[in-house]
Amino acid sequence: MELTQQYAQMRQIREKSYVPRTRHLNSDGWATYTNRLFLESSPYLLQHAHNPVDWYPWGDEAFQQAAELDRPVLLSVGYSTCHWCHVMEEESFEDVEIARYINENYIAVKVDREERPDVDAVYMAAVQALTGRGGWPMTVWLTPDRLPFYGGSYYPARDGDRGLGVGFLTLLEKIKESYHTRKDLVDATGNQLTNVINQMLSTEMGSQLPGEDSLHTAFQAYQRSFDSNHGGLSGAPKFPSSLPIRFLLRYAKRFNNETALQMATLTLDKMAGGGLYDHVGGGFHRYATDELWLVPHFEKMLYDNALLVQDYLDAYQVTGDADYQRIVREVLDYVQRDMTSPQGAFYSATDADSLTPEGHREEGYYFTWTSQEFEDLLGSELANLIKVTHGVGPVGNFEGRHILHTPQSLADVAKQLNLAQSDLQTQMKKALESLHAERQKRPAPLRDEKILTAWNGLMISAFAKAGFVLEDPAYIQSAVRAATFILEHLLVDGRLKRSYLDGLRKHNAYLDDYAFMAAACIDLYEATHDISWLEQAIAMDKTLAGFYEDVDGGGFFMTSNDHEQLIAREKPNHDGALPSGNAVAAMNLIRLAALTSKSTYIERAQRAFKAFANVLSANPTAMAELYLALDSFLHPPKEVALIEPENAPGGADLFLDIIRHQYLPGRVLAKASEGQDLKDQSTLIPFLQHKEILNNQATAFVCQNKICKRPTDNPDVFSQLLQTVDTHFDRARL
C-alpha cells in the first residue's frame, strides 16, 4: 500500500482528537506535511510526524534507501519531554529551507531513546568518544552501513545563532560534501569509532570478587564530592540520582557511620525543600539547574519519582521523620492522580514546557506564580503566609515569576508568625490546595502516555514497598493493578515487550524491563504474600538467563540474543538516571537465592560481580546500585518467616508492624497461614518447610546464612532477634 493511503487510513483511525504538532497547517487545519512517523505510536516520533523533514523511523527501509541513493544518514535521537529537543525541532526541523536541504541530501531517521535505549546507547557512546560529552537531542551522522562518523547534541539552526559560529545548516552542507569527496576518511572514521564503541560498551571479567573494602572506597569517593551546604554532589546542575541515598543509608547502618546518614538526610531535606519538588501538586522535577536545588528543569519523569519514593521511604524507616513519610505520600498521590492510566498502568513523563495565556510555549510557566496571583487567589492573609513559608520575595526567582520552595523549617516559620505549628500546617495546606485547584485551570504540560515496562516496574516497587511500610492497602492495590496490566498487555508468549500505547505493544524488552519487573514482582510478593508474584519473578529471571545472560563472561547484555544486531551489544553496568539493569538483576538473584535456597542464583550473581569488578574499582561513584547488591552478597540477607494459625488471619500483624518500623536493608520476608497456603508456598520457599507455630499463636522465624534463631511468638523477642542476627558475615572471605 502506498504511503498516502497509509496516511489516510491512519488519519481516520486517529479521528478528530488528533492535533498535528506543527506550525505548517493548511486552510482546513490539517498539516501541510506528513512523514512516516505519522504511522508510529511513540509520542516523541508523532511530535515530528508533520515536520517538513521526510523522517523515517529506525529500520532497514531507511538504510536501504541511503545505500541506493548513496546518501549519509542523519540520525536524531530524543524523547518527548526533552526541552532542547523541542527547541531544535522549532528552529531547524520545522524550518522549510533546512528541511529541504536534509530531504535532498540525507536520509533522516528519528529515534525515541525511551523506546530504543539500545540504539541510543550505541550512538551516545560515539558522541561521547567524539566530543567528550553527551546529551539530547543527540545528532549523529552515519554511513548507510550504520557506522557513525560525526556527531554531537543540540545545534542552533544558522551561523551566529545563540552565539555559536557554525549553525546546523552549514554543518549539514560541510558534512555532505565530506561524505562524497572524502569517502576513505568517512569509512575509516566509522570503523575506528565502531571499535571504540565496542570497547566502551564491553566489560572484561575481573580475576576476583570485590570485597567489603570496595564499599568503603565508594563511600569515600562520594564524601569527597559531597556538597556539605546543599546536599548532593558539589556543583550544578544537580540530579537526584547523582548521590545514591539508599547506598548511604545502608552504609550508615552497616558500619554505624553517622556521616553517611547526615549526607543522606541533608540531601533529602534540601531536595524536598527546593524548587526541585512541586510543593503544589507533588512529585519531583527532573533536575535542578543550580546548586541550591531551587530552579528545576520542569519536566517530571516517572522513574525519578519512583526512585525518590524509595529513598524517602528508607529514610523514614531509619529516622522516623514524619516529613519523609509526607513526601512519600504526596509523590504517590500525585502519581495516582496525574500519571496513572484508566487501566492502572503508569504514564512516562510530563513536559517542562506549557502554554501561557498568550499562547506561547514556555518552560515552567505552569508551575510558577506572580505575587499578584497569590493575592488575587488567596487573599492577603493566606498570601502572606504562603510567601513566608515558601520563600516568595519581592522579585521573582525565575523569569519574573516565583518558584515555590521552603527555605525555612515549619517550626521556625511558626515561631516567626506566632502560630502553633499545627495551625500553620492547616493553613498552609488550605493555601496549597487552592493554588493547585487554580493551577488545574491552566493548559497542562504535554504528558507522554506511553507505558514503559521498566519504568512501570520501578513505580510498582515504589507503591508495593510504600504500601507495606505505611500499611496502606490502596498503594498496594495500585501496584497490583499496574503489574497486572503489564502481564496482561506486554507479556506475549512468555516474552515481555518494551512499550505500550493506544493498544499497540512494541519493541522487544531490554534487560532493565525484565530486571525492574522481576524486582517489582518480588516486592509485590513481600507486600501481598501472594506466591504467584514470586512465580512471575522466577519466570522473568529464567528468560534473562536464557536470552540475556553472558554465561562465560558474567552479567547480562542489554539486548536478547535474538534481538536486532547493532554495531555493538552493550553489557550495561553504570547507573544513569536509572539504575543499571545488571545491578538490579544481581540484587534479584540474591533475593531469589535467599527465598528459594537455590545456590545457582548466588553462583550467577557471583559471576556478575566478577564481571564488573574492574569497573567497580575504576569508577566507584557510577555504580551505586551495584554496591547495594554487593552489600547483600557480602552480608547475606536476613530471612524472616511468619506463620499464622489457619483460623486466625492477621495473627502476624504485630510482627509485620515491627518490620515496618525497622530499617532492615536486604531482608527477605515470607508469610503464610498454616495448611494449604503454607504447603503451596513451601514448594518455592524451602525455609518455610517444617515450620510449626508455638502455643497456637503466630510465630516468627529469623535466619541468616542457613542459621536460624529460636522461633518466637513474642513480638518483643522478635524485635530483638532482628537486631542481633549476625550482620558481619562476609561471603567474599569464604
Q: How far apart are CA 290 and CA 304, in angstroms?
A: 18
Q: What is the biggest distance separating any 2 CA atoms in the chain, rounded to whole angstroms? A: 88
Nearest to 249 by CA among 301, 304, 302, 324: 324
For residue 397, what is the DSSP state? S
Q: How far apart are CA 539 and CA 542, in angstroms?
A: 5
3-state secondary structure of 112: strand
Q: How many CA within 13 A on the CB side of residue 647?
A: 1
Q: Does residue 233 have a pLDDT over 70?
A: yes
At a CB cut-off of 8 Å and minimum separation 6, what does 96 contact? 24, 52
pLDDT at 726: 52
pLDDT at 8: 85
pLDDT at 360: 86
pLDDT at 618: 82
pLDDT digits (tens, 9 = 90+) for 646-659: 887 788 999 999 99
Contact indicator for 413, 384 with CB cutoff of 8 Å: no
Element (H, E) at 704: strand 699-704
Q: How many CA within 13 A on the CB side of residue 548?
A: 28
pLDDT band for position 155 (cuts 50, 70, 90)? very high
pLDDT band for position 1 (cuts 50, 70, 90)? low
Q: How far apart are CA 289 and CA 275, in angstroms?
A: 10
For residue 731, what is the DSSP state? G
Contact indicator for 322, 421 with CB cutoff of 8 Å: no
Q: Does residue 704 have a pLDDT over 90?
A: no
Nine cell digits for residue 386: 504562603
Q: Is 477 exposed, middle or buried (0-12, 13-18, 19+ CB in 10 A)?
A: middle
Alpha carbon 195 to chain centroid, angstroms: 30
Least confident of 35-49, 79-93, 200-214: 200-214
3-state secondary structure of 226: strand
| Mean pLDDT, residues 695-709 | 88
pLDDT band for position 727 (cuts 50, 70, 90)? very low
pLDDT at 672: 94
If one compares 660 and 133, the residue with the highest pLDDT of the two is 660
pLDDT digits (tens, 9 = 90+) for 534-592: 999 999 999 999 999 999 999 999 999 999 999 999 999 888 899 999 999 999 999 99
Q: How far apart are CA 152 and CA 125, in angstroms?
A: 11
Q: Does residue 641 have a pLDDT over 70?
A: yes
In the numeric block, the cell 523522517 is attached to 55
Q: How far apart are CA 604 and CA 608, in angstroms?
A: 6
Q: How far apart are CA 382 and CA 724, in angstroms?
A: 51
Give the CA radius of gyration of the chain.
27
Q: What is the mean pLDDT of the chain?
A: 93
Using alpha carbons, list the distances in angstroms from residue 626 to 105, 172, 473, 608, 729. 45, 42, 31, 10, 19
Looking at domain 638-733, does it have CATH number 3.40.1710? no
Q: Does residue 407 have a pLDDT over 70?
A: yes
Contact indicator for 677, 588 with CB cutoff of 8 Å: no
Domain ranges in the chain are 3-201, 356-444, 638-733
Q: How far apart are CA 473 and CA 300, in angstroms?
A: 26
Q: How far apart are CA 207 and CA 631, in angstroms?
A: 19
pLDDT digits (tens, 9 = 90+) for 295-322: 999 999 999 999 999 999 999 999 999 9
Q: Does residue 731 have a pLDDT over 80?
A: no
Element (H, E) at 300: strand 300-301
pLDDT at 725: 46
3-state secondary structure of 707: strand
Cα dihedral: 318, 323, 328, 330 (round 10): 180
Contact indicator for 588, 637 with CB cutoff of 8 Å: no
Nine cell digits for residue 196: 571504540
First to last CA, the chain: 65
> Taking CA 645 as the corner, what is the angle to CA 644 and CA 649, rounded to the nearest 5 degrees?
70
Using alpha carbons, list the distances in angstroms from residue 416 to 254, 321, 409, 423, 677. 40, 23, 11, 13, 58
Q: How many CA within 13 A on the CB side of residue 279?
A: 28
The DSSP string of 235-290 is SSSB-GGGS-HHHHHHHHHHHT-HHHHHHHHHHHHHHHHSTTB-TTT--B-SEESS
Q: 638-733: same fold as 3-201?
A: yes
> Taking CA 223 as the corner, what is the angle to CA 218 and CA 225, rounded to the nearest 5 degrees?
100
Looking at domain 3-201, does it have CATH number 3.40.30.10? yes
pLDDT band for position 734 (cuts 50, 70, 90)? very low
pLDDT at 10: 86
Q: Where are the beta strands (DSSP E) in 473-615?
A: 491-492, 495-501, 504-508
Q: How many CA within 13 A on the CB side of residue 324?
A: 24
Contact indicator for 352, 81 with CB cutoff of 8 Å: yes
> What is the percent of the chain with per-residue pLDDT over 90, rounded to a whole number?
78
pLDDT at 335: 98
If one compares 529 and 502, the residue with the highest pLDDT of the two is 529
The DSSP string of 148-181 is EEEEES---SSTTGGG-SS-HHHHHHHHHHHHHH
pLDDT at 733: 42
Q: How far apart are CA 522 and CA 588, in angstroms?
A: 8
Per-residue burial over 119-149, b if 16 or more Cβ lie within 10 Å, else e, is bbbbbbbbbbbbeeebebbbbbbbbbebbbb
pLDDT digits (tens, 9 = 90+) for 475-528: 999 999 999 999 999 999 999 999 999 889 999 999 999 999 999 999 999 999
> How long a stretch of residues is the chain?
734
pLDDT band for position 159 (cuts 50, 70, 90)? confident
Amino acid at 582: N
| Mean pLDDT, residues 211-231 | 94
In the numeric block, the cell 514497598 is attached to 465
pLDDT digits (tens, 9 = 90+) for 674-690: 989 999 999 999 989 88
pLDDT at 732: 47
Contact indicator for 403, 276 with CB cutoff of 8 Å: no
pLDDT band for position 286 (cuts 50, 70, 90)? very high
| Mean pLDDT, residues 389-404 | 92
The DSSP string of 327-395 is HHHHHHHHHHHHSB-TTS-B--EE-SEEE-TTS-EEETGGG-B-HHHHHHHHHHHHHHHHHHHTT--SS
Q: Is 505 exposed, middle or buried (0-12, 13-18, 19+ CB in 10 A)?
A: middle
